[in-house]
A and B are shown apart, each in its own frame.
Chain A
Amino acid sequence: MKTGFVLNENVRTELSGEKIKLRTENTSLYYGKFRALRNITLSIKERSIMAIIGPSGCGKSSFLRIFNRMNDLIPGARVEGKIEIDGNPIYGPAVDVVALRKKIGMVFQKPNPFQMSIYDNIAFGPRQHGIFSKNDLDRIIETSLQQSALWEEVKDKLGQPAMGLSGGQQQRMCIARVLAVEPEVILMDEPCSALDPAATLRVEDLMRILAEQYTIVIVTHNMQQAARVSDMAAFFMMASDRAGELVESGATTQIFTNPKDKRTEDYITGCFG
């Protein structure tokens, strides 16, 4: 099959030997009586980028939010099936949700800095986890900003309001804010949908760098983006009863050049969606 996608050359197609970081098995999600996701079985490898793609309303974001239990905040939301990080359950009475969310950070669709200084925004997470010493915070903030490739741009104005940054800078600051709590996994919910193309490319470059240290799961509407950044991809679609289902998953190169399922091929080539 011939598609016009630019695939990332650095993408690792051979991931078979690597450790599985996140895993779901027969996972379903309900909002009250409505079933939003049905029997999703998916493994996400450590230090890789998994792209979740599919048309609107197929439950991509809901799936992402299963891992850091953000769905807990929605009245009537309930999950079934196995959901694990490093082989340990994410749901259950013994799970410490606070510790879990510290391990699994999240970047949201719209850049959402608090109305505080850049410094205080990034220090927010560490302070919640009991780090108050000025030296420690300074060090964490510098490292996080350097990792998110923002340090050079903001190092002289850390005390200024974060709202004064451009959209792309705000989103990289939000990534720094996540990195500051030293997570292992970063969930990204359409992180570039509110950014201009140049800012989008910067965030994508950043994601490739971060993938050497972190496990990244990204939900995206942008097929080109999924092709450019991800190692693995999973294609979701809405079934006739409106529940989201996993159609197919695999190495990004395979999904984009040689999809096994007809529906994936139709979506990728732009027949619907």
Chain B
Amino acid sequence: MGIRVNPRTTQKIAKVVIWSAAILVLLLLFTIIIYILSKGIPHITWQFLTEIPSDMGKSGGILSAIVGTLAVTIVAIVVATPLGVGTAFYLTEYTRESGVTKIIRFSAESLAGIPSIVYGLFGFIFFVTYLKLGWSILSGGLTLAVMILPTIIRTSEEAIRTVPPMYREVSFSLGGTKWQTMTKVLIPSALPGIATGIILGIGRCVAETAAIILTAGSALQMPTSLFSPARTLAVHFYILASEGISLENAYATAAILIILILLINIGANLLVNRVVAKRR
């Protein structure tokens, strides 16, 4: 026979455990962020933000890396969003559960679990070498697009499934076509969920190193077109730190990276809230 514990005591213990877990996680997160920001921010100057790196990154700024990060991420999102959201709509609205949908879903799930270096290798073989795109923003962006596709498909699919089925029926019963139902009812209702997937995708793109080094290269100069090689902030940070070039600049780069991700998240949230608020 087990020990009898007063339910109120269990409740108290559970409360303490749950609170400690939450506080511990918050503490951990804030420690990392504050540590990096405090080490990095003192080295951030106007010059650091507006100049391209010189002397392998020991001096100069990181403007080309900022531009490279944004360019690669934009290419990835522009390619992956329509493909991912389209696939999600195909899976939920345009087809019935069958062998095909199972294969698509299984492939997407398998893709989500693959380490990014494998995507890098694929991107290197397919985009860089076979399609002769070279080490470039385009190769890097396309590789990242393939990498984040599963996330976008999965989150969009979930978001579309949570739209009340009744909305579809009402739209159809008023004489709406499938396209109108999709664009006027389903997308607006599922938008916050779809946006979450895209934001997660952006986060992964901005943070990626291995796949980028293999497909976009690590050039220090300012990219001039989609076919220019480029270095992203994460890659720059990785090289500065691992090759012992300049720890100060590595921290400063990391701080910028964190600030950039914060800004993207805040911006995306504001945008979604505005669109949602407009519809109510």
List residues of A whose CB falls within 8 A of some B CB.
68, 70, 73, 75, 98-99, 101-102, 105-106, 108, 110, 112, 114-117, 120, 124-125, 127-129, 161, 174, 177-178, 181
Known: A114-B185, A116-B280, A117-B280. A70 touches B175 (CB 8 A): no
Is B180 within 8 A of A128, CB to CB? yes
Is A178 within 8 A of B175, CB to CB? no
CB distance from A80 to the nearest CB of B (A): 22
The closest CB in chain A to the CB of B175 belongs to A102
Cross-chain pairs A/B with CB under 8 angstroms, 5 sampled? A112-B164, A125-B176, A128-B175, A174-B170, A177-B174
- Chain B interface residue bracket vs A: 20 to 34
Is B280 within 8 A of A70, CB to CB? no
- How many Å lie between the Cα of A177 and that of B189 in the bound state? 19
CB distance from A137 to the nearest CB of B (A): 14
B-chain residues with CB within 8 Å of residue A110 when the two chains form the complex: 166
Is B166 within 8 A of A99, CB to CB? no
Q: How many A-B residue pairs have CB under 8 A?
A: 63
Known: A75-B96, A124-B184, A128-B184. A114 touches B167 (CB 8 A): yes
Report if B172 contacts A (CB, 8 A). yes
Known: A108-B169, A116-B280. A101 touches B96 (CB 8 A): no
Ranked nearest first, the 5 interchain pairs of A and B with the lowest CB-CB distance are A102-B175, A125-B174, A106-B173, A101-B175, A128-B176
Report if B274 contacts A (CB, 8 A). no
A-chain residues with CB within 8 Å of residue B12 when the two chains form the complex: none
Is B173 within 8 A of A98, CB to CB? no
B-chain residues with CB within 8 Å of residue A68 when the two chains form the complex: 173
CB distance from A175 to the nearest CB of B (A): 12
- How many Å lie between the Cα of A217 and that of B180 in the bound state? 27
Partner of B166, one of A101, A108, A125, A177: A108
The 0/1 profile, CB within 8 Å of A marked 1, for residues 179-191 of chain B is 0100011000100
A-chain residues with CB within 8 Å of residue B173 when the two chains form the complex: 68, 70, 101, 105-106, 108, 178
**Residue among A73, A106, A128 with the highest chain B CB neighbour number at 10 A:** A128
**Residue among B166, B169, B171, B174 with the highest chain A CB neighbour number at 10 A:** B174
A-chain residues with CB within 8 Å of residue B8 when the two chains form the complex: none
Report if B168 contacts A (CB, 8 A). yes
Known: A115-B280, A128-B180. A101 touches B174 (CB 8 A): yes
Is B280 within 8 A of A98, CB to CB? no
- How many Å lie between the Cα of A177 and that of B180 in the bound state? 16
- How many Å lie between the Cα of A138 and that of B172 in the bound state? 23
